[in-house]
Amino acid sequence: MKIAAAFSMAMALGASAAGAALKYTDANTGISFAGYSDDKGLKVGMALPDTPEKDLIMQIVGPAKAGAGWAGFDFSSSMTGKMLLIAWPNGKNVMLSPRIATGYVTPSVYTATDVKLSPIPKGTFVNDTHYSATFLCAGCINKDTFSATDADGVFAYAYSTTPVTTPADPSSALSYHAAGFSGFGMSLADAKSADFAKWAAMADTSAAPPSAPAPSVPGTNLTAPIRTSNTTYDYIVAGGGPAGIIAASRLAESGASVLLVERGHASTFSTGGKALMSWNSSVTQFDVPSMAYYLASSTLDSTQYCADTASQAGCLLGGSGMVNALMFVKPQDADFDDHWPAGWKAADVKAASDRFFEKNPGTDMSSADGKRYDQGAYDVLSSFFKSNGFSSVEPLKEPNKKVDVFAHPPWLIQDHLRGGPVKTYLPAAQAMKGFSMRLNTNVVRAVRQASWTSGIEVQNEDGSREIINVKPKTGKVILAAGALSTPRILFYSGIGPESEIKKVPSTVTMTNSSRIDLPVGKGVQDHTILTVSMKTKQPMKSLKSTAFTAPSQTDIDLFAQGSGVLTQAGQRLNFWTSVKSPSDGKTRFIQGTCNSPADDEVKLKVYLTHGLTSSADLGLDATGKITELQGTPWLDTKGDVEAIQVFFDRLVKMTAKPNSTLSIKMKDGSAAPANLTGAALYADVKSSQASGSHWVRSARMGLDDGRKANGSAVVDTNTKVYGTDNLFVVDASMHADLPTGNTQAIVMVAAEHAAAKILALGGAAGNGTAAAPCKKLRRRRSCASSAGPAAHRRHMHRGLVLSPHMKA
């Protein structure tokens, strides 16, 4: 679940559930609360003493009818760093779990020892329609909630009707909170009562906290039988996201036997996805481009997001490429040239890039009738940028023009539906004899004997465990579970810093050899997003969100013909520029994606991108189950903050011109003051700060072997994990740098290039150090292990030279 991500998404979309602030007296306990309720049975309330110190009483009521789920109270209105109180039914009992989300992340269990939750039994029950948790929250007024002297609070709630993963486990992963979420403000005076002490005395402070049952980590169910698959493969690819599908497909094209293992279920209609639209049962919500902005609030698929990653990620076939917003930004040369090592510069990856874009050209004109729909925001913003010296470009044709330019948004849409590897690589791979794929299969670890990886351990959907091996001496295992999950597989395989390996649940069968000390998770980066709202000076019409979530028959009929607004993703205009930060003199790039959330209003999502210097570490939480951030990678350096302020200075000046068609709207709805500065605008929009969901560098590529003192790289330039013979990483984790645009295009280009590198290894020695690429060798014995003996025989049979052939 993603309380955090969803709040940010809620703000980004301007979504909010119907509901109201309220004061009420609870009939069961007699306690008077101030809080919030929605119109579907969710209610949260707080009670405070007249003079608050450290304690408060909380009530969380959730609707139990539709399969229960969970409900939570957030002491912030966004995701940043405040405590969350979560309640859910476990049979007839109610579970309580304090959590914390450090930034835009999955909440981990909140472990401050001076916080204690004690149920008030009369108000804590499960009945036929609801579950109710009423409890004394001792020590809960602290640095992670609010101050005892605050007059007002800005809080939020979120809830789900899908049960948590392991209801009896207070640290359980939570299901996605599809039922509702909203921020709300309240006066703390409304929560105060002289009767607080009397009410607090009703709490059962002796109640032992619910004890945790056996961990629910995949692969840790030691009572499950373990078997070994009777099939071995030349290559096993762990993770069916964009990078994994591309790598697996290209490896299979060489004639090798390849197993692609994906933990999630099918996604698009053509792969058997089940999240069908009510208005067209031959497309899923993942197929329809206009749904890309509404997936987080859709209830059609409650498991599309990973429940155990540090930030939002897709856990279904196609990975985050299935849940993303379809932006498709072709990398500029600098994205590779600035920090990737030799062999991965723009010129080096050009062939791979050409192969990829030929199959996946992307488009800025998705409607078959050649028309663009809902262009109000484009019209006003394009003239605004043009009159301020920006020029119009076609970013898919001119990727290197990234300063003072604007464009119709480039999208990964093909034939009017979501494009990408599930559509353009997978079908051909599935037609190959050597290719097989397993869905709903969670890769737990690489099974490693010292430097050799013999295979993987998986947990199947039925809970059973299985070892799947690669071919002896020549096989290879490729991790592609995404930048927020591949590190966990590495940790569970005994690869990474000691601090993280120590947290691996003891029930995970750790590898039978010593730890490889690599800086896995160190220095991850992400784009930062800040949202600026502007008012148009002339009237401008905007489509309501229902135009997308409950489309008109006209639009449904147009879509059936491949046309109309439903074939478009959510953005209406993009811009790019760069700024130089005064303190470090470094150039940083800015990207904007814009649309119109309401009449007479446009919204600019301003991203700080390539060149930013903030970073954080990615590790395991205290339970060892969930990846979490250590530190925050957003605007954490002086230079990064300056970059935003320099850009905002310019934006303020642009809008302050007397003939400007747009004016800045402050957070409280007021017009921008005449003396507004970039720094003041930054202060005003700071609370909108959100993750770009563009994670890279969690298992970074470099020439400096991370096992050595001061070495920083986890994989070498063949994408092979240092210190191993045959373990590779091809997803966004291995990227050496953060690009200028949204990450999917560069992830796919890099995966194409990585597949070629891996094939070129040949690997006669089984560890990639066998020098010559196969294509130079024509004699059978010299290259017999390039892709395993079987593959070799197929190549020989077809009379092919043993080269990794890349169909463009």
Ligand X SMILES: *[C@@H]1O[C@H](CO)[C@@H](O)[C@H](O)[C@H]1NC(C)=O
Ligand Y SMILES: Cc1cc2nc3c(=O)[nH]c(=O)nc-3n(C[C@H](O)[C@H](O)[C@H](O)COP(=O)(O)OP(=O)(O)OC[C@H]3O[C@@H](n4cnc5c(N)ncnc54)[C@H](O)[C@@H]3O)c2cc1C
Interface pattern 455-494 for ligand Y (x via CB under 6 A): -------------------------xxxx-x---x-----
Alpha-carbon span 134 to 148, nearest angstrom? 21
For ligand X, the closer CB: 282 or 392? 282
In the complex, minimum distance from the CB of residue 305 to ligand Y, in angstroms, rounded to a whole number? 8
693 binds, among ligand X, ligand Y, none (CB under 5 to 8 A by kind): ligand Y
| Residue 414 in tokens | 């093909």
The yes or no reply on residue 434 touching ligand Y (CB under 6 A) is no
User: Distance between CA 743 and CA 732 in Å, rounded?
Assistant: 8
Q: How far is the CB of 318 from ligand Y (least distance, A)?
A: 6
Q: Which token pair is 518? A: 């690599």
Tell me if 742 contacts ligand Y by CB under 6 A.
yes
Alpha carbon distance 633, 615 (integer Å): 4
Indicate the residue type of 153: G
Interacting residues with ligand Y between 684 and 713 (CB under 6 A): 693-694
- Please report whether residue 512 would count as binding ligand X according to CB under 6 A: yes
Smallest separation (angstroms) from ligand X to the CB of 582: 18
Closest approach of Cβ 128 to ligand X, in Å?
5
Q: Which secondary-structure segment (H or E) carries 685?
A: helix 678-685
Q: Which of 168, 224, 226, 432 binds ligand X (CB under 6 A)?
A: 224
What sign has the CA pseudo-torsion 353, 357, 360, 363?
Answer: positive
What is the DSSP secondary structure assignment for residue 675, as one 8-state letter? T
Shortest Å, Cβ 270 to ligand X: 10
Q: Does 731 bind ligand Y (CB under 6 A)?
A: yes
Our finding on whether 443 is near ligand Y (CB under 6 A) is yes
Helix (H, G, I), strand (E, B), or coil: what is residue 317?
A: coil
**CB of 57 vs ligand X, minimal distance in Å:** 15
Shortest spacing between CB 480 and ligand Y, in angstroms: 6
- CB 732 → ligand Y: shortest distance, Å? 4
Length of the chain: 808
Query: Which residues are within 8 A (CB) of 770 and not within 5 positions of it... i.e. 6 or more apart?
Result: 761, 762, 763, 764
Interaction between residue 257 and ligand Y (CB under 6 A): no
What is the C-alpha to C-alpha distance for residues 435 and 233, in angstroms, rounded to an integer?
10
Judged by beta carbon distances under 5 to 8 A according to partner kind, the member of ligand Y, ligand X, none in contact with residue 659 is ligand X
Q: Which does 661 bind (CB under 5 to 8 A by kind): ligand X, ligand Y, none?
A: ligand X
Distance (Å, rounded) from C-alpha 394 to C-alpha 81? 40
142 binds, among ligand Y, ligand X, none (CB under 5 to 8 A by kind): none
Task: Find residue 156's DSSP bridge partners.
Answer: 74, 183
Q: Tell the smallest beta-carbon distance from residue 671 to ligand X (Å).
A: 11
> Which does residue 449 bind out of ligand Y, ligand X, none, counting CB within 5 to 8 angstroms by kind?
ligand X
**Interface with ligand Y, residue 321, by CB under 6 A:** yes
Beta-strand pair 235-238/258-261: parallel
Stretch that binds ligand X, among 66-74, 185-193, 443-451, 489-497 (CB under 6 A): 443-451
Is 330 in contact with 357 (CB distance < 8 Å)? yes
Residues paired with residue 99 on neighbouring β-strands, in sequence order: 84, 109
Which one among 320, 367, 568, 595 touches ligand Y, defined by CB under 6 A?
A: 320
Q: Which does 130 bind (CB under 5 to 8 A by kind): ligand Y, ligand X, none?
A: ligand X
Q: How far apart are alpha carbons 415 and 605 in whole angstroms?
A: 27
Q: End-to-end CA distance of the chain: give it in Å, rounded.
A: 39
Find the Cα–Cα–Cα–Cα dihedral 419, 420, 422, 423, rounded to 10°: 50
| Residue 281 parent element (H or E) | strand 280-284
594 near 602, Cβ under 8 Å? yes
Q: Under the criterion CB under 6 A, does residue 262 sit at the interface with ligand Y? A: yes
| Among the listed residues 200, 192, 210, 202, the one whose alpha carbon sits nearest the alpha carbon of residue 86 | 210
Q: Which does 240 bind (CB under 5 to 8 A by kind): ligand Y, ligand X, none?
A: ligand Y
For residues 97 and 117, the answer to whether their CB atoms sit within 8 Å is: no
Q: What, of ligand X, ligand Y, none, does residue 228 touch, CB below 5 to 8 Å by kind?
A: none
Residues pairing with 227 in the sheet = 466
Binding site partner of 410, from ligand X, ligand Y, none, Cβ cut-off 5-8 A by kind: none
Give the one residue of 143, 683, 769, 796 binding ligand X; rule: CB under 6 A. 769
Contacted by 710, from ligand X, ligand Y, none: CB < 5 to 8 Å by type: ligand X
Beta bridge partners of 5: none
Q: Choose from ligand X, ligand Y, none: what does 409 bind? Cβ within 5-8 Å by kind.
A: none
Nearest Cα residue to 61 out of 84, 89, 83: 89
Number of residues that bind ligand X (CB under 6 A): 37
Q: Give the largest Cα separation in the chain, rounded.
A: 90
Applying the rule CB under 6 A, the residues between 675 and 694 that interact with ligand X are 675
Say how far residue 122 (Cα) sits from the centre of its chain. Answer: 40
Interface residues with ligand Y (CB under 6 A) are 238-244, 261-264, 312-315, 319-321, 323-327, 442-443, 480-483, 485, 489, 693-694, 731-732, 742-745, 747
Interface residues with ligand X (CB under 6 A) are 28, 61, 127-130, 132, 216, 221, 223-224, 230, 280, 282-283, 383, 387, 449-451, 463-464, 512, 556, 559-560, 657, 659, 661, 673, 675, 709-710, 725, 765, 767, 769
